Structure 1
Amino acid sequence: MSINRVFWSALILAFWFSLAPALGSLIEGPNGGPIYPLGFYELPKEDAALQRMANAGVNLVRVHSKEDLDRAQSVGMRGVFPLSLQEGATDKIRQTIQEVKDHPALAVWEGPDEIIWTFTTYSGLHRVSKVYPHRDEWWRQTDIALDYSNEKAGEIIPKLLEGIAVIRDLDNRDRPVWINEAVESDARMVRRYMDDIDITGCDIYPVSDRNRRLTRVTEGVERWKKIGRGKPVWMVLQAFSWDELGEYHGGGRERTYPTFEESRFMAYTSIVHGAAGILYWGSNYLQTDEVRESIYALTTELSALQPFLVSEEKPEVTLDFLEIPQTTEGFGVQCFVRKAGEDWLIVLVNEDEVKHMGVEISGLDELEGKTLHQLYGKDDLMVEGGEIIARLRPFEVKVYSTSPEYESDRTEGRDFGWDEAKEGKIDSQE
């Protein structure tokens, strides 16, 4: 998905306006208004740990019972309820829906995770069940892979649609149905159920001891926006080290977590490309609390920006480059602009492996003479002539607001990092 790009400031604008999340893709907060989903798959067992998560701005957790929903509600959270929809219109699914459908904390129904991946590309088809003689049968599109996947699709997808129909029939609050897929799940198969769900998206965990290519997240958002044909995209991001997942997934791997800055990049690249929600997977495997603190520092930061994340008021601005042309592979500099009341938010994300020292944002005439405060930084900018000029290191995120009040006072976890990241290996292919 990366493209060669020469940055001619007068000719090429590496600038993509993200779409505002559709209000139907947001969840209802405790006060009845929409909130941008900041979720975790993990539901902490201890009430104190759940409260700690809520205090960090997390507003959505995965639940499995009415009791779980009660716990989520007690701390102001909402619940995602998974259902085995691939089993069809079973009595068990009907009973489960009836038991929880009237709970005020229930926000979203979740279908089977990575369902298309499981019968097309999943490594277990070779390593465990031995259905595939070789691991790459699907990618080589062999007769074995095509015959097996088509047979399973003929069994699973009709039942999946039957299960979704049960939700539509029983849930009088019309809560959305979300299905998460693997980032490379087959588009043709996914399209067979896409019209019947409300929210799509994928999981992507790019940080390991072998690779730190963060723009895999960027590519994932863009791919699933296309596959979903305009449906909201939720991104599931990394909250673990691969070696923590056990021998099957992590055998022989070294302990490698995303740094705070890497997690921050992955979240903001999702947002500026139009992701309508962010969730974290794998935190229940964590063997160090420092990583959890770093992710909570990030969710706290994002939570403070809720008024902008749910706003549909998008002032139009223009981005240009005032610098020597550079040849690079990447997505350029992305800009996210929102207005909430009298306050403005401008997010700049450099998705290139090169610095950009002259990023001009114009069209800010309404802010003439005002200061844009860099949240969590010291690079405040004065709007002059309706313009600002920003400087961005490779893969840097800068967040500006007309009010410094949107900066959280939480500092713990923001300095979490690894030496290899500090040495410039962020987003490396090596």
Structure 2
Amino acid sequence: MGPMEFLRTRHSESRAPLTQLAAIALLAIFPCFAANDVSIAADGMLIVNGDRTFVLGLYENPKDDAILDEATKAGINLIQSTPDTEQLDRLHNRGVYAWINVGSSIDLSADTDTRKASLKKLADDFAAHPSLLVWEVPDEALWNVWYGAELWRNRDEPKQQEELIAALEDKAKAEKLRAMRVDVRKHRAMAEYKQAEDIADAIWRELGKEPPNPELNTSNAPERAATMAAGMLDGYTHLKSICPTHPVWMNHAPRNSVAQRAAFNKAADAVGCDIYPVPPHIGGHSDLADRGLTSVGAFTRLMQDAAPGKPVWMVLQAFSWAELAEKKNDPDLDQQRHPTYHETRFMAYDAIVNGARAILYWGSAYTDRSKPFWGELLKVVRELADLQPVLSAPDADVELQISLDETWGSLDQGIRVLPKETNDGTWLIVVNEWHDPLRYTIAGLNPARGATYTDTITGASVAADNGTITLSIPSYGVQVLRPSK
């Protein structure tokens, strides 16, 4: 039994389900009774029933019991659930926790009374369930403010207008409208969105129609986002007033400015970002200059910048882009593969060493489980679950000095080290973000907290000399170094 399985067993044995009568009595006293004691430590780690807990989450609640059992036995401890008691019971029976997405009800900028009532009903119906741990707000809410306008103004609207123009019998008018479409593209190419949208709206009127989506504009997206952010903050405040017992978390797309994300992040206790960069330079999920594996760490840092003092939960890749493609005969699909085992492992640890307090996986519902990827993903989850006492431990209060041997590379990225303080000593999680192997030295270690360090995977050991160790690490490599005295 791994440490995470032990924790799950202990928790499930200590949480006897409330009787319906007892739950009703408690709800009469408290605005929101919770079966679990959930809080967030000062360092951002989730505390569940007194235990520091590193979340290993899955967006899929598999319908197949065998697949669900595979995931939970590997160490997944938090799974997305619909607001359904039967589904929550199913997870609770396996000793795992759940989160529920509250949907658009969290945005009180419109239909306020109805949405407040919806939030209250969710809290009344599910807050006391022993499986429920966290509420989630709508996924990628900020990005969708922009993306909806982008899909309309840059994809659907041009197609619809061009089809209508092509059907015109008045060829002179058709030529005029085609010229206007050219002007729309020119203005968009210069980020002159208001001018482009005004011309596009004029085209609709020339066609004898009113613009179908007059408010769905790129030019007004900042204002629409600000309205939603304020509405979600009001909804968050209301939800916490009726249900202060459950944290609220918000996931972003890997887009938008730090300032915009910061405005939205006020409406959450934990924030996250999904990033799916495999294969590098093909998927195109990252819009940073860094589009490869290390964009995971980059977005982890950006999320911390947008939510100082709040925990960051990173959502990582559990699918291949080919599995999401609409055109299955696309010749490029064979390049849009699953992450390899080493890439999956690297991305998880890159998030962790850059400050993530949880790892969740999205896309497994689309994954062909007959392929090796699913088993390799669960292997990484199992490794992380077995390290639960380390990952959930406080970061060590130690100032380490990291140096690299000279090499031929420019080294705009390099080694990142996360020291974790446990009863066994100071563990070191080391990640090489450079695309070539490196030899590195860590100085400043406390000999009393580790005289020898051993890689948990390879078994290779190195003795500390006056608080200094030197090791080699492969490109995009990970080393979890266990201390011994």
Match of 1:142 in 2: 193
Out of 119, 136, 140, the residue aligned to residue 114 of structure 1 is 140
Out of 33, 38, 42, the residue aligned to residue 51 of structure 2 is 33
Out of 61, 64, 73, the residue aligned to residue 43 of structure 1 is 61
Match of 2:304 in 1: 225
Match of 1:268 in 2: 349
Out of 431, 434, 439, the residue aligned to residue 349 of structure 1 is 431
Please list the CA deviations of residues 82-104 of structure 1 after superposition, one character each: whole Å capped at 9, or x if unmatched: 01145534133321222101112
TM-score, normalized by length of structure 1? 0.80
1:253 maps onto 2:333 in alignment: yes
Shift of 1:209: 7.2
TM-score, normalized by length of structure 2? 0.71
Out of 149, 153, 156, the residue aligned to residue 225 of structure 2 is 153
SS at match of 1:353: coil
Match of 1:130 in 2: 157
Once the two structures are superposed, the pairs formed by residues 19-418 of structure 1 within 5 Å of their partners are 22=41, 25-29=44-48, 32-64=50-82, 65-85=84-104, 86-88=106-108, 89=112, 90=115, 91-121=117-147, 124-126=151-153, 129-130=156-157, 140=191, 142-143=193-194, 144=197, 145-153=217-225, 155-173=227-245, 175-208=246-279, 210-211=281-282, 213-247=292-326, 252-254=332-334, 255-289=336-370, 290-312=372-394, 314-321=396-403, 323-324=405-406, 326-367=408-449, 370-402=451-483
Give the 3 Å change call, closer, same or farther, for CA 367–26 of structure 1 in structure 2.
closer
Tell me, in whole angstroms, the C-alpha distance in 2 between the residues paired with 1:125 and 1:374. Answer: 52
Please list the CA deviations of residues 79-131 of structure 1 after superposition, one character each: whole Å capped at 9, or x if unmatched: 11101145534133321222101112211110111111112145533466539
Contact 2:338–2:373 (8 Å) recurs in 1: yes
Give the 3 Å change call, closer, same or farther, for CA 60–383 of structure 1 in structure 2.
same
Give the 3 Å change call, closer, same or farther, for CA 314–154 of structure 1 in structure 2.
closer
Q: Which amino acid aligns with 2:98?
A: G
CA RMSD of aligned residues (A): 3.0
Shift of 1:71: 1.6
Give the 3 Å change call, closer, same or farther, for CA 347–139 of structure 1 in structure 2.
farther
Shift of 1:49: 2.1
Tell me, in whole angstroms, the C-alpha distance in 1 between the residues paired with 2:373 and 2:185. Answer: 36
Shift of 1:324: 2.1
Shift of 1:275: 0.8
Residue-pair matches, total: 381
Please list the CA deviations of residues 335-368 of structure 1 after superposition, one character each: whole Å capped at 9, or x if unmatched: 1111211243211111112321243344232156
> Relative to total residues, which structure has the larger helix share, 1 or 2?
2
Tell me, in whole angstroms, the C-alpha distance in 2 between the residues paired with 1:319 and 1:75. Answer: 44
Shift of 1:162: 3.1
SS at match of 2:405: coil
Give the 3 Å change call, closer, same or farther, for CA 102–23 of structure 1 in structure 2.
farther
Please list the CA deviations of residues 159-198 of structure 1 after superposition, one character each: whole Å capped at 9, or x if unmatched: 323322331122141x111111111123333232322321
Q: Which amino acid aligns with 1:124?
A: L
Q: Which amino acid aligns with 1:221?
A: T
Match of 2:171 in 1: none
Report the more deviating stretch, 288-297 or 187-196. 187-196
Percent of residue pairs bearing the same amino acid type: 27
Shift of 1:52: 1.6
Contact 1:181–1:203 (8 Å) recurs in 2: yes
Tell me, in whole angstroms, the C-alpha distance in 2 between the residues paired with 1:42 and 1:139. Answer: 41
Q: Which amino acid aligns with 1:264?
A: R
Q: Which amino acid aligns with 1:153?
A: A
Point out where structure 1 has 5 or more consecutive residues left out of the alignment: 1-20, 404-430
SS at match of 2:157: coil
Q: Which amino acid aligns with 1:156?
A: M
Contact 2:232–2:267 (8 Å) recurs in 1: no
Tell me, in whole angstroms, the C-alpha distance in 2 between the residues paired with 1:221 and 1:355. Answer: 23
Tell me, in whole angstroms, the C-alpha distance in 1 between the residues paired with 2:471 and 2:88. Answer: 45
Contact 1:116–1:181 (8 Å) recurs in 2: yes
Contact 1:331–1:351 (8 Å) recurs in 2: yes
